[in-house]
Chains A and B, each alone.
Chain A
Amino acid sequence: MKELVIISGKGGTGKTSVAASFAGLAGRVVIADCDVDAANMHLVMAPVTRETTRFSGGKIALISPEICAGCGKCLDLCRYDAITEENGSYAIDKIACEGCGVCAYFCPAKAIEMVDDENGEWYISDTPYGPMVHARLGAGGENSGKLVTLVRNQARQIAKKNKTETILVDGSPGIGCPVIASITGADAVLVVTEPSMSGLHDLKRVVSIGRHFGARVLVAINKYDINLDMTDEILGFIKDEELELAGRVHYDIDVTLAQIAGKSVVEFSDGQAASDIREMWTNIALALELEE
């Protein structure tokens, strides 16, 4: 079983378009959309949801006003400015609460309890390409790293049960906890970048994360023909760092049109971007010794 995680350092580089196309090319596959903050895979994968489960990212504090003696100890101890006081009555700012439980532990009146902060859902769905695990984090949701881990573990279990060889993970943007949760223990990471100052900057940051967690790092340059000088610079970086180039994709309006049509690029089009992505998948399958 091989797990390929597609990440990008930042959003909008075409990560999901590439991932969705790979799902169509990979044959038997389990898909995990780990961009739980703003999942997009479902828009192009036509999923039919089979199972929905509530998710609790952690605990938050709740003050019972009838028990609260108004001593203000919680206000003194809270380091997250999550306790508000108005005319001697105390309440929790749910958004600021970190769930540390310090207020509950030290409340002399035992007026505070820690309750489950239910702020998301996760789903197992069927798609034309195979099962997909995805999730939705509630507004301002906390602990997306935990939800990402949950989604990945579910995908692994399904792959194990179905004896599926490939797990395709659409990772989260950034370099914080959700990304770390997206890539730990993966066989390979494909970083999708684009030839711009910020693209290169983000690529450098995210590659060092991938490395840190021991993953094999491949790079895809999307819209490479927008700025050929910058593409050369990225190629130089790939060479210097001894990374692997998975492929280059032309700028192609079909990528946007495929999205609008609710399809993956390779399914929608036989254009330049589609053929670039096909070629890239062949390279990756070869590199990871996947059966095509």
Chain B
Amino acid sequence: MKIAVASGKGGTGKTTVAVNLAARAGLRGESAIYVDCDVEEPNGHLFLKPEIEEIRRVEIPVPVIEDEKCNSCGECGKICHFNAIAMILDKVLLFPELCHGCGGCFHACPTGAITESPRDVGKIESGKAYIDAPDGRKVVEFIHGVLNLNEAMPVPVIRDIRKMIPEKKWVVIDAPPGNACSMVETVRGSDYALLVTEQTPFGLNDLELACRTVKELDVPVGVVINRSGTGYTGVSEFCAREGIEILAAIPESMEVARIYSRGDIIVNESGQFASVIDGLLKKLEERTGSAR
């Protein structure tokens, strides 16, 4: 089953929850894969420390113009909605970094002067993470995407990742923060969306936005409260009002913060944290089983 871990906003503990869910499932000997779709700032690899076995380029097709065939009719500039093509006097100017690769100019050119050539926008790395269990090493499969620096469009990378995800019992997808195109591209098509939040007004605000987005995608949703115990009740009131289940609460803990800051897997070191994740895995199994 595909579980997208999202948050509406970064820094709520999304990666912590996603990494440890996949790691714990792997430790129990179940087939698990961790997929990092936060291609602007992927962080899961810092904790899982995977051995990368394969690297694929992500490319989008951009136009190439053959000057001899171009009759300067301007049709390509007219069809381009992204200002990637401009006509200056009778010369066609290309801005490849603005091109979304829709192919409009290629199809519209009446003289066949436009061909398409791939432009590199990022990469997808995949491999295996090994997690030490008392009875030996356990494997968690790993995929993440990395957007090239100074590139503006993460969606093509996410789209390619989604096509690569194999069937596993536990597919845990770390979604990008926010509620815009890249988060949507990640969450749609998942069996379940797990929203990670904090018990603060910032957390509530971001949770409300994320819930609204996920509802439009028609994906069942549950909440994990991270760093609970602030005394702020707004988040639980909101969930009760909206009929959204709170599947787990992770207490604020300096121990967890320290393990995290070192880049270690928390379920391996904190028994209390591991039991929260176990409870979460069990509930996810039940909820997605009944949702089908």
- A residues with CB within 8 A of B: 8-13, 16, 37-40, 43, 58-59, 77, 79-80, 95, 98-102, 105-106, 114, 137, 139-142, 144-145, 172-178, 180, 194-199, 201-202, 205, 208-209, 212, 226-227, 230, 256, 259-260, 262
Contacts and interface: CB of A to CB of B under 8 A. Distances in A.
A226 B11 contact: no
B124 to A, nearest CB: 17
Given A38-B8, A142-B181, A197-B261, 16 more contacts: A12-B10, A13-B11, A77-B107, A95-B216, A100-B102, A100-B104, A114-B81, A139-B215, A140-B180, A174-B10, A199-B261, A201-B43, A202-B41, A205-B149, A226-B258, A256-B200
Contacts of B209: 37-38, 139
Contacts of B260: 196
A129 B188 CA distance: 41
A41 to B, nearest CB: 10
B82 A100 contact: yes
- The residue in B47, B200, B205 that gathers the most chain A C-beta atoms within 10 A of its C-beta is B200
Contacts of A98: 100, 102
Nearest to A213: B150
B217 A95 contact: yes
Nearest to B226: A12
A103 to B, nearest CB: 9
Contacts of B177: 10-11, 37-38, 173-174
Contacts of A172: 178
A11 B102 CA distance: 31
B257 interface: yes
Question: Which size bracket describes the interface of B in this complex?
Answer: 35 or more
A106 B104 CA distance: 9
Nearest to B177: A11
A57 to B, nearest CB: 9
- The residue in B108, B179, B258 that gathers the most chain A C-beta atoms within 10 A of its C-beta is B179
Contacts of B101: 79
A259 B46 CA distance: 30
A65 B81 CA distance: 24
Contacts of A10: 10-11, 41, 43, 177
A269 B178 CA distance: 29
